[in-house]
């Protein structure tokens, strides 16, 4: 009798431990970043996004996500996987700043990120990781299956050779071309064609079905390009977001075929919104007019311009520039807002810059040092200070851990990475983002 009771207790303990372990095993996670994603793409009927709208109506969706500063792609995507601003993760702009104040080399190598990433904490938990076309993921040691965002520096339109070179494990890009996309010409795999998003989705779908990673991140870029050319509205923007929506559908289909859909959380978000522009401003001409262009320069990100001093302690030059900005005709002053150092720090901006200008709706900045102050500019821009709803990105979350049909007010971009880590049963130590438990199933 005693032996039988002992056996029962042992069996009960085994069942209990199995149950606890099973219940603590996190569901899988996919983060889909649609470049230039906006909340009205899933909240307004005019936009052709049935897959995204279906996920939103059966999950959690937000009125908007406030970005970091500047609201541009590479700093924002680094915030999406670290949960901290540029001042902490070290990616201040899309490119480095050259000695002459112009845009320098694009930032692409993972070693340049100074903060802990979602991929890292997932690997430390023993999870399998994958990524497709995520900015600054080249040479990332924590991604098991990595198709990074990279291109030829001699022929930037051709991404195939560079992607093949830096994909991990070696030969992965050739594998996905053979099994997922088929042979691709130059324009099948760059931003010139809507086929880019479709091919990236096919690659992600293949990796999901064959390797079944616990977490996958993917960046879809075409909606950004369409809005740069056309602004916020128009048929080309509708085509691009429809293409991104179809890419989401391809990924969902792969999850279902791999029997992963019911145990996968999906987060769809982005990096920034857009403002339609008609006029560009060249603020470096003001510095030239004041004869301080050898002491300072404005560095443009499109929707904003950051003032850098050659001598960070040169208060005399800074005050002279401020006086100039405040004395401009009202017609010029209304084209931008001055963002002080305190406001910049609040949104994680480059600590080396002493102030910034943020363009109001309809305007943008250039790095030009000659020519006219104001010029005609057609299309859309981003980069502005994140205090305007037009520059917000979106957020849709669906899956076993999310509530159904919940409209959330607003998030900060820093909130997404710690939420993702939480869903994976881990955490990002550096992040100060908020995890909103009200989104989650208790």
DSSP letters spanning 292-339: -TTTEEEEE-SSEEEEEESSTT-HHHHHHHHHHHHTS-HHHHTTEEEE
Q: Tell me the CB-side half-sphere exposure of residue 322, using CA atoms within 13 A.
A: 13
Is residue 77 in a domain?
Answer: yes
Q: Residue 399 has what DSSP assignment?
A: S
Q: How confident is the prediction for the chain on average, in pLDDT?
A: 94
- Domain shared by 293 and 268, yes or no: no
Residue 15 lies in a domain: no
Judged by DSSP in three states, 288 sits in: helix
Assess whether 46 and 179 both reside in one domain: yes
pLDDT band at 28 (very low <50, low <70, confident <90, very high): very high
**Whether residue 313 sits in one domain with residue 242:** no
Give the count of domains, the chain.
Answer: 2
In DSSP terms, which residues pair with 411 in a beta bridge? 65
Q: Sorting pLDDT into bands at 50, 70 and 90, what band is 408?
A: very high
Domain check: are 228 and 182 in the same one?
yes
Whole-structure pTM value:
0.93
State the CATH number of the domain containing residue 353. Answer: 3.30.1360
pLDDT at position 24, please? 60
Flag whether 394 is in a domain.
Answer: no
pLDDT given at position 442: 83
Q: Do 261 and 280 belong to one domain? A: no
Which residues form the domain of 334?
276-381
Q: Is the pLDDT of residue 8 over 80?
A: no
How many CA atoms within 13 Å lie on the side-chain side of 21?
6
213: domain CATH number is: 3.40.720.10
Q: Looking at the structure, tell me whether residues 174 and 112 fall in a common domain.
A: yes
Does residue 426 form part of some domain? yes
* Nearest CA among 90, 138, 142 for reference residue 112: 90
- 419 assigned to some structural domain: yes
Distance CA 393, CA 75 (A): 14
Residue 299 and residue 263 share a domain: no
Residue 6 lies in a domain: no
- What does the alpha-carbon distance between residue 49 and residue 223 come to, in Å, rounded to a whole number? 12
| Residue in the structure block whose two tokens are 């779908």 | 205
In a domain, 34, yes or no: yes
Q: What is the pLDDT of residues 218-252, one digit of tens each?
A: 999 999 999 999 999 999 999 999 999 999 999 99
**182, exposed or middle or buried, with CB in 10 Å at 0-12, 13-18, 19+?**
exposed
State the alpha helices, DSSP H only, in 347-436.
416-423
Q: Are 303 and 359 in contact (CB under 8 A)?
A: yes
* Residue pointed to by tokens 């880019």: 196
Please indicate, yes or no, whether residues 92 and 79 belong to a single structural domain of this protein: yes
pLDDT at 4: 41
Do 310 and 365 have their domain in common? Answer: yes
With a cut of 90, say whether residue 16 has pLDDT above it. Answer: no
33 and 174 assigned to the same domain: yes
**198 shares a domain with 79:** yes
Query: How far apart are alpha carbons 103 and 99 in whole angstroms?
Result: 9
Q: Per-residue pLDDT tens for 111-143?
A: 999 999 999 999 999 999 999 999 999 999 999
């Amino acid at each position: 009798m005693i032996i039988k009771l002992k056996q029962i207790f042992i069996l009960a303990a085994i069942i209990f431990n199995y149950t606890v372990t099973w219940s603590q095993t996190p569901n899988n996670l996919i983060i889909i970043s649609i470049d230039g994603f906006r909340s009205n793409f899933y909240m307004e009927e005019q936009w052709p996004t049935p897959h995204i709208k279906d996920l939103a109506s059966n999950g959690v969706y937000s009125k908007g996500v406030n970005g970091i500063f500047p609201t541009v792609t590479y700093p924002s995507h680094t915030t999406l996987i670290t949960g901290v601003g540029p001042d902490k993760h070290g990616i201040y702009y899309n490119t480095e700043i050259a000695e002459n104040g112009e845009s320098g080399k694009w930032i692409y190598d993972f070693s340049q990120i100074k903060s802990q990433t979602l991929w890292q904490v997932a690997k430390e938990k023993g999870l399998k990781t994958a990524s497709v076309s995520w900015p600054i993921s080249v040479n990332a040691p924590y991604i098991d299956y990595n198709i990074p965002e990279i291109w030829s520096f001699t022929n930037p339109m051709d991404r195939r050779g560079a992607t093949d070179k830096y994909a991990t494990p070696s030969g992965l890009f050739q594998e996905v071309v053979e099994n997922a996309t088929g042979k691709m010409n130059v324009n099948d795999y760059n931003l010139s064609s809507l086929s880019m998003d479709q091919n990236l989705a096919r690659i992600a779908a293949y990796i999901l079905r064959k390797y079944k990673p616990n977490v996958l991140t993917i960046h879809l870029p075409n909606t950004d390009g369409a809005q740069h050319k056309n602004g916020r509205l128009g048929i080309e923007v509708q085509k691009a977001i429809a293409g991104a929506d179809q890419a989401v559908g391809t990924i969902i289909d792969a999850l279902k075929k791999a029997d992963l859909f019911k145990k996968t959380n999906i987060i769809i978000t982005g990096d920034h919104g857009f403002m339609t522009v008609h006029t560009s401003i060249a603020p470096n001409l003001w510095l030239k007019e004041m004869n301080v262009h050898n002491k300072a320069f404005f560095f443009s990100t499109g929707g904003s311009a950051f003032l850098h001093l050659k001598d960070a302690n040169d208060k005399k030059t800074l005050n002279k520039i401020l006086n100039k900005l405040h004395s401009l005709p009202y017609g010029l002053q209304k084209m931008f807002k001055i963002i002080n150092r305190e406001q910049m720090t609040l949104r994680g901006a480059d600590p080396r810059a002493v102030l910034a200008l943020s363009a109001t709706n309809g305007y943008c900045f250039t790095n030009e040092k000659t020519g006219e102050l104001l010029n005609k500019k057609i299309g859309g821009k981003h980069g502005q200070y994140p205090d305007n709803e037009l520059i917000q990105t979106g957020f849709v979350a669906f899956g076993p851990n999310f509530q159904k049909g919940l409209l959330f007010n607003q998030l900060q971009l820093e909130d997404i990475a710690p939420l993702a880590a939480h869903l994976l049963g881990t955490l990002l130590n550096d992040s100060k983002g908020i995890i909103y438990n009200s989104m989650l199933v208790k």
